[in-house]
């Protein structure tokens, strides 16, 4: 009994055709892929441009100039590097076929070069700086290239050498209505005859482009690249992959127009790669801030309209991190230092209350308050006024003598008041007045000399007039 066999799918089949007739209009897969790539590039590029501070719709305005220039440049580069296909006695196509861009054949180098000229014209008309604009549309352009490579798949072009790898690409023979058969026949249909199993270089380039797109987006978000440096990375990344993929190619364009045995695209890839790296290294670092992606005239116009442009919070986060690190390194004050600072702040805010709370000045403050109270009582008393008016020259001399004795006894009064204050700080000024009254007998002894003042005229609760005259104001 024979064991069952399993047939495994091997190799990638090519599409049976690349053109579908819709009445009088041919629907070409290559053209659809190019158009789809352009639409995706404009849509995504517009979103990226707005996120970088640009205005909505400006990418489309620039694309109106860049796309026609890019298509023209790509076709010109293709014809120059593959001129033997259209010119010469052995050329498989006619010279006029060089204008049939819908049949395929676009050189990416020419498309980028001349497309950049068209983009510069469109950007200049809108007041946009081209390097900043290139950074915004670099990933979308490369993604559009990846989508466009599917058109090569439908056209059975840009394939590599023959291979036995399981992902090899089948190239079929195609025939048209006239009976002409050829693998490169764009308008024909497959007859099922496999011509070769080749390296799917279109697929390699498609996957490489998608990988570079992802890397560009990650690098742009992580490092905030600007001033055309992201566009330079796109060019360098594409050229790096294209250089190695180009060495796998074996189609007519790769072998018929070589220079000293080397394909022209290898020279182009190496030269453009070196230029892109030099620009990336020498261009300004960072990203355009505010309205720097515009020329001064356009920036002033947008500023008048209240447009802020691009504001990157990445730098604010760096500043916040630096401030946090500085706060962490600053020494923390201890409790005693904080208490001292609080006391100093309170003293500056309420100096009068602090002065009353100082122990050393409390006694002096109490004495001064007692003397001031006595002066106020004396000035407000009618008896004091009548005594001052009735005093003669003898009374004046007696007052001077009493002042001398009072000065001698003043330290005792202040010491007694200080003792009373320290004994009970929470009491009011009344005990202080009582402590000062303890020394009244001494003051009354000094006032014993004959005067016209009668003791009966002084109220019991008031300080005697002679004490009022002994206050610091009278002594001075």
- Per-residue confidence (pLDDT) for residue 47, from 0 to 100: 96
Please count the other Cβ atoms lying within 10 Å of the Cβ belonging to residue 359. Answer: 10
Please count the other Cβ atoms lying within 10 Å of the Cβ belonging to residue 434. Answer: 11
3-state secondary structure of 174: strand
Residue 406 near residue 443, CB atoms below 8 Å? yes
Q: What is the pLDDT of residues 23-34, one digit of tens each?
A: 888 888 999 999
State the greatest distance between any 2 C-alpha atoms of the chain, in Å, as a whole number: 159
Phi, psi of 141 (to 5 degrees): -65, -45
- C-alpha–C-alpha distance, residues 363 and 453, integer Å: 31
pLDDT at 460 over 50: no
pLDDT at 160 over 60: yes
Per residue in 406-431, is it b (16+ CB within 10 Å) or e — as a string?
Answer: beeebeebbebbbebbeeeeeeeeee
26's CB contacts (< 8 A; 6+ apart) are 19, 20, 187
Q: What is the pLDDT of residues 61-96, one digit of tens each?
A: 999 999 999 999 998 988 888 887 788 777 777 888
109's CB contacts (< 8 A; 6+ apart) are 77, 265, 268, 272
pTM over 0.85: no
- Least-confidence region, from 59-63, 330-334, 452-456: 452-456
- Per-residue confidence (pLDDT) for residue 209, from 0 to 100: 97
- C-alpha–C-alpha distance, residues 217 and 186, integer Å: 36
Residue 151 near residue 31, CB atoms below 8 Å? yes
Distance separating the N- and C-terminal Cα atoms of the chain: 141
Please check if 149 is assigned to a binding site: yes
In angstroms, the Cα distances linking 393 to 286, 399, 446, 451, 472 are 96, 10, 18, 11, 21
Estimate the share of the chain in helix, then strand, then coil, as percent rounded to the nearest 5. Answer: 65, 10, 30
- Least-confidence region, from 128-132, 364-368, 430-434: 430-434
pLDDT at 464 over 90: no
CA angle 334, 339, 341 (to 5 degrees): 95
Residue carrying the six token digits 């009072």? 406
pLDDT at 447 over 80: no
Q: What is the DSSP string of 380-399?
A: H-HHHHHHHHH--HHHHHHH
Question: Where do the domains of the chain lie?
Answer: 28-167+192-299
- C-alpha–C-alpha distance, residues 279 and 283, integer Å: 6
Phi, psi of 314 (to 5 degrees): -65, -40
Q: What is the DSSP letter of 439?
A: T
Please count the other Cβ atoms lying within 10 Å of the Cβ belonging to residue 380. Answer: 10
- C-alpha–C-alpha distance, residues 218 and 230, integer Å: 11
- Per-residue confidence (pLDDT) for residue 85, from 0 to 100: 79
436's CB contacts (< 8 A; 6+ apart) are 367, 370, 413, 416, 417
Angle between helices 362-380 and 429-438 (to 10 degrees): 80
pLDDT at 103 over 80: no
pLDDT at 2 over 80: no
Residue 364 near residue 414, CB atoms below 8 Å? yes
Residues in the chain: 476
Mean pLDDT of 307-319: 67
Q: What is the DSSP string of 102-155?
A: GG----HHHHHHHHHHHHHHHHHHTTB-HHHHHHHHHHHHHHHHHHHHHHHHHH
- C-alpha–C-alpha distance, residues 236 and 230, integer Å: 10
457's CB contacts (< 8 A; 6+ apart) are 383
- C-alpha–C-alpha distance, residues 350 and 331, integer Å: 29
**361/304: higher pLDDT:** 304
pLDDT level of residue 325 (50, 70, 90 thresholds): low
Q: What is the DSSP string of 302-358?
A: HHHTT---B--HHHHHHHHHHHHHHHHHSPPP-HHHHHHHHHHHHHHH-HHHHHHH-
Mean pLDDT of 305-317: 74
Q: For residue 182, list its beta bridge partners.
A: 174
Phi, psi of 20 (to 5 degrees): -120, 130
- C-alpha–C-alpha distance, residues 72 and 110, integer Å: 8
3-state secondary structure of 456: helix
- C-alpha–C-alpha distance, residues 36 and 145, integer Å: 10
């Amino acid at each position: 009994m024979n064991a069952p066999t399993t047939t495994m799918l091997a190799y990638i089949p090519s599409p049976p055709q690349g053109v579908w007739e819709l009445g009088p209009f041919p629907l070409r897969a290559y053209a659809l892929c190019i158009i789809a790539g352009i639409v995706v590039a404009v849509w995504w590029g517009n979103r990226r441009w707005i996120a970088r501070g640009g205005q909505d719709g400006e990418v489309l305005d620039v694309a109106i100039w860049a796309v026609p220039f890019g298509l023209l440049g790509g076709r010109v580069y293709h014809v120059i590097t593959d001129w033997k296909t259209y010119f010469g006695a052995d050329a498989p196509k006619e010279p006029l076929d060089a204008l049939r861009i819908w049949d395929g054949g676009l050189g990416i180098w020419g498309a980028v070069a001349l497309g950049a000229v068209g983009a510069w014209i469109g950007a200049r008309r809108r007041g946009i700086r081209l390097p900043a604009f290139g950074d915004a549309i670099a990933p979308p352009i490369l993604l559009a290239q990846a989508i466009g490579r599917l058109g090569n798949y439908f056209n059975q072009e840009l394939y590599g050498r023959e291979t036995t790898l399981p992902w090899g690409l089948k190239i079929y023979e195609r025939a048209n209505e006239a009976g002409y058969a050829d693998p490169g026949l764009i308008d024909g249909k497959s007859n099922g005859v496999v011509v070769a199993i080749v390296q799917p270089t279109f697929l390699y380039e498609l996957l490489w482009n998608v990988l570079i797109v992802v890397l560009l987006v990650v690098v742009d978000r992580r490092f905030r690249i600007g001033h055309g440096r992201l566009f330079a990375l796109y060019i360098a990344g594409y050229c790096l992959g294209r250089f190695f993929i180009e060495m796998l190619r074996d189609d007519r364009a790769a072998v018929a127009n070589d220079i000293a045995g080397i394909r022209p695209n290898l020279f182009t890839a190496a030269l453009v790669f070196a230029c892109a790296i030099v620009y990336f290294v020498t261009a300004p670092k960072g990203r355009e801030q505010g309205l720097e992606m515009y020329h001064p005239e356009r920036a002033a116009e947008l500023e008048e309209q209240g447009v802020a442009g691009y504001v990157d919070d990445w730098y604010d986060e760096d500043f916040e991190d630096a401030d946090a690190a500085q706060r962490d390194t600053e020494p923390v004050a201890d409790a005693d230092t904080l208490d001292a600072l609080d006391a100093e702040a309170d003293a500056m805010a309420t100096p009068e209350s602090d002065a009353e709370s100082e122990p050393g000045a409390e006694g002096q403050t109490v004495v001064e308050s007692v003397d001031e109270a006595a002066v106020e009582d004396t000035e407000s008393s009618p008896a004091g006024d009548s005594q001052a008016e009735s005093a003669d020259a003898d009374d004046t001399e007696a007052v001077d003598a009493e002042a001398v004795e009072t000065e001698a006894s003043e330290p005792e009064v202040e010491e007694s008041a200080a003792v009373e204050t320290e004994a009970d700080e929470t009491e009011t000024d009344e005990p202080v007045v009582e402590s000062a009254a303890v020394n009244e007998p001494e003051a009354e002894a000094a006032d014993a000399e004959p005067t016209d003042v009668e003791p009966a005229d002084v109220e019991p609760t008031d300080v005697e007039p002679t004490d009022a005259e002994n206050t610091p104001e009278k002594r001075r």
